[in-house]
Amino acid sequence: MYRTHTCGELRINDVGKNVKLAGWIQRVRDLGAMTFVDLRDRYGITQLVVDEKSAESIREKTAKLGREFVIQAIGNVRERSSKNKNLPTGDVEVFLNEIVVLSVSKVPPFTIQDDTDGGDELRMKYRYLDLRRETVRKNLELRAEMAHATRVYLNQQNFIETETPVLIKSTPEGARDFVVPSRMNEGEFYALPQSPQTFKQLLMVAGFDRYYQIVKCFRDEDLRADRQPEFTQIDCEMSFVDQEDVLKTFEGLTRYLFKEVKNIEIEEFPWMPYSEAMEKYGSDKPDTRFEMLIHNLTEKVKGNNFAVFDSSEFIGAINTTGCAEYSRKQLDELTDWVKRPQIGAKGLVYVKYNDDGSFKSSVDKFYSQDDLKVWAEIVGAKPGDLILLLSGDKNHILTALGELRLEMGNRLGLRDKNIFKPLWVVDFPLLEWDDETKRFYAMHHPFTSPKKEDILLLDSDPGKVRANAYDLVINGVEIGGGSVRIFNKELQSKMFDLLGFTKEEAENQFGFLMSAFEFGAPPHAGIAFGFDRLVSMFAGLNSIRDVIAFPKNNAGRDVMIDSPSTISNEQLDELNLKVVIKGKK
Ligand code: ASP
């Protein structure tokens, strides 16, 4: 037996016991007469001690120990003379009788403690050492706990956990596919799933009724803090349900997770139509932890000879509480901020509502105090507030104001990460027009059903058709999304037409789904949650990398195993492939 106890287990009532522990050496403190060794494993840290009364051989062995050696420690539990209240095992120590070195270690490239001195790249290269740190491991423990709770909830609700294949054919979810060459089928490729979308729908045709899977998905996109080329979804599908049934079930799951894992009771989630989210928050994933809503001032501000406003399609404003004090410098800096290419506004108009009830604005030449008072009333400003206005094309300005709102929310400390405000965003448009390619794209995916009452618009005004699609948004983060599906071959085929597929292309790529619909498909709907995002939100982190055991870096590389990499000529031969890199000899 390697150990009788873990390093986090011994307490005062274990005093007197002979124990065996095993773990890694956190540090050795040689005080001359006494040497203390902190022994660490996943469960905690226990202090080991040798002193003048210890056998010479033990003292010699202890002197040779180094950081991160793996040892077995055998000894007797005794009460500490100076206790460490910060450590659960801090009342006791183990007086060593024997040490067995199981593994030696080189000096680690960074310190294995919460506030490590290791930079990002170094920690990723030695991720197995990084994972020894308690803060990092805790995130993965949280992840495991949440996966477990998810299974408990969904199993209770009669969902069948079903695996779907990883080597498939491309499913268009709007991203690029990762592809895998097939050795046995020369010149042909599998694609890795962007999601199990078509399979879960086929499981509904198969009569599974309720399916789920905690599943890896792959999308070849540019990376950001909340994106990885491979990521995990809680993927679900249900039969004989409408939108409300799905939202109820997954609101239930979300609330269950908050309660089980964080002991937080969350109220019923509000529903907000997409159009309202865009008009009031300038985003389809509104952060509803704070108000600061967008107001439309277009009608009120036009016609005063201020050319910038007169020539704009839309003029919108937000009110920032208590910011009338902003200095010239702060306003200039904010103006620069909205002019950055990411926001792309041409300029910023401000109105200060002074404490004495007067107004000071950057457009005083064009607007009277009475005019400004009307604006203040519309946006709900009080003395001491600062009103910020942007103007231009409606859609662009709404998004820009949405970004400005989040920025001001950050500056005013309104985005507390310990407060959770989930909501359902519903009634998304079915299609999105792309000016560059001059065609419609599915806003969610091509299997999403239009709202019944909008089906007639499919021919006359497709851009106006709303979908039975929904997103779960928490604190401005899109945690999940799904839709009620098309389950009829004709409608599905019409969707592919609208999306610019030829009959042959549609048949080639999705013939299997459309023919399944000819064998009795039940009405069905589903959803998928981004599991990494959900866990990182529960952990209070900004990046999903911190909740993934072995993540990729921003260039999509795993720097530990050094992947992606070239493959050998033998492998290429077997695959009948030849690598030609365009533009290179
Ligand atoms: N397959 C969709 C996605 O990955 C989710 C769904 O519609 O259920 O976003």
Share of the chain above pLDDT 90, in %: 92
Render pLDDT for 351-370 as a digit per residue (tens, 0 to 9).
Answer: 999 999 999 999 999 999 99
116: confidence class by pLDDT, cuts 50, 70, 90? confident
Ligand 1 center to residue 540 CA distance, Å? 25
Spatial neighbors of 468 by CB under 8 A, at least 6 apart, are: 243, 448, 449, 450, 451, 483, 484, 525
pLDDT at 172: 63
Please give the structure tokens belonging to residue 211.
């399916």
Residue 223, judged by CB atoms within 10 A of its CB (0-12, 13-18, 19+), counts as middle
Ligand 1 center to residue 171 CA distance, Å? 11
**Superfamily name with CATH number, domain 12-103:** Nucleic acid-binding proteins (2.40.50.140)
Please give the structure tokens belonging to residue 491.
């409608």
Which residue, judged by its Cα, is nearest atom 8 of ligand 1?
A: 527
pLDDT at 585: 61
pLDDT at 223: 79
**Superfamily name with CATH number, domain 290-411:** GAD-like domain (3.30.1360.30)
274's enclosing H/E stretch is: helix 274-281
Which residue, judged by its Cα, is nearest atom 7 of ligand 1?
A: 482
Ligand 1 center to residue 234 CA distance, Å? 10
Render pLDDT for 267-293 as a digit per residue (tens, 0 to 9).
Answer: 999 999 999 999 999 999 999 999 999
Q: Which residue is associated with the tokens 């086929």? A: 202
Query: Of 419, 408, 475, 413, which Cα lies nearest the Cα of 226?
Result: 475
Share of the chain above pLDDT 70, in %: 99
Q: What is the average pLDDT across 50-61?
A: 94
Q: What is the average pLDDT across 151-161?
A: 98
CA–CA separation, 550 vs 274, rounded Å? 36
Q: What's the sign of the alpha-carbon dihedral 377, 381, 384, 389?
A: negative
More confident call, 261 vs 113 = 261
Q: What is the average pLDDT across 235-239?
A: 98
Task: Return the ligand 1 atom nearest residue 526 CA.
Answer: 8
CA–CA separation, 288 vs 281, rounded Å? 9
pLDDT at 173: 62
CA–CA separation, 454 vs 416, rounded Å? 39
CA–CA separation, 403 vs 410, rounded Å? 11
Ligand 1 center to residue 266 CA distance, Å? 24
Ligand 1 center to residue 174 CA distance, Å? 11
CA–CA separation, 575 vs 535, rounded Å? 39
Residue 277, judged by CB atoms within 10 A of its CB (0-12, 13-18, 19+), counts as buried
170: confidence class by pLDDT, cuts 50, 70, 90? confident
Which class would CATH give 144-272+421-544?
alpha beta
Contact 197 CB / ligand 1 (< 6 Å)? yes
Contact 471 CB / ligand 1 (< 6 Å)? no
pLDDT at 227: 86
Ligand 1 center to residue 250 CA distance, Å? 14
Render pLDDT for 415-461 as a digit per residue (tens, 0 to 9).
Answer: 999 999 999 999 999 999 988 888 899 999 999 999 999 999 999 99
* Mutate-to-test residue for ligand 1 from 218, 235, 238, 443, highest number of ligand atoms within 8 A of CB: 235
At residue 327, does pLDDT exceed 90? yes
Averaged pLDDT score across all residues of the chain: 95
Q: What is the average pLDDT across 120-144?
A: 96
Contact 73 CB / ligand 1 (< 6 Å)? no
The residues spanned by each domain of the chain are 12-103, 144-272+421-544, 290-411
The DSSP output letter for 531 is: H
pLDDT at 582: 85
Q: What is the average pLDDT across 77-92?
A: 96
Contact 483 CB / ligand 1 (< 6 Å)? yes
Task: Return the ligand 1 atom nearest residue 200 CA.
Answer: 8
β strands within 104-157, DSSP E? none
Q: What is the average pLDDT across 496-506?
A: 92
Q: pTM (2 decimals)? A: 0.94
Contact 482 CB / ligand 1 (< 6 Å)? yes
At residue 171, does pLDDT exceed 80? no
* Mutate-to-test residue for ligand 1 from 170, 197, 250, highest number of ligand atoms within 8 A of CB: 197
pLDDT at 68: 98
CA–CA separation, 150 vs 161, rounded Å? 11
DSSP symbols for 367-394 = --HHHHHHHHHHHT--TT-EEEEEEESH
Strand partners, 386: 320, 352
Render pLDDT for 289-308 as a digit per residue (tens, 0 to 9).
Answer: 999 999 999 999 999 999 99
At residue 563, does pLDDT exceed 70? yes
Query: Of 253, 234, 266, which Cα lies nearest the Cα of 418?
Result: 266
pLDDT at 175: 85
End-to-end Cα separation, the chain, in angstroms: 60
402: confidence class by pLDDT, cuts 50, 70, 90? very high
Please give the backbone phi and psi of residue 261, each rounded to the nearest 5 degrees, phi first. Answer: -95, -35
* Mutate-to-test residue for ligand 1 from 217, 444, 479, 486, highest number of ligand atoms within 8 A of CB: 444
The amino acid at residue 531 is F
Q: What is the average pLDDT across 323-352?
A: 96
Task: Return the ligand 1 atom nearest residue 235 CA.
Answer: 8
Please give the structure tokens belonging to residue 315.
């003029």
The amino acid at residue 557 is R
Please give the structure tokens belonging to residue 34.
């006494």
Apex 342 CA angle, 341 and 348, nearest 5: 70
Cα distances (angstroms) measured from residue 477 to each of 192, 329, 409, 420: 26, 32, 15, 11
Contact 530 CB / ligand 1 (< 6 Å)? no
pLDDT at 155: 98
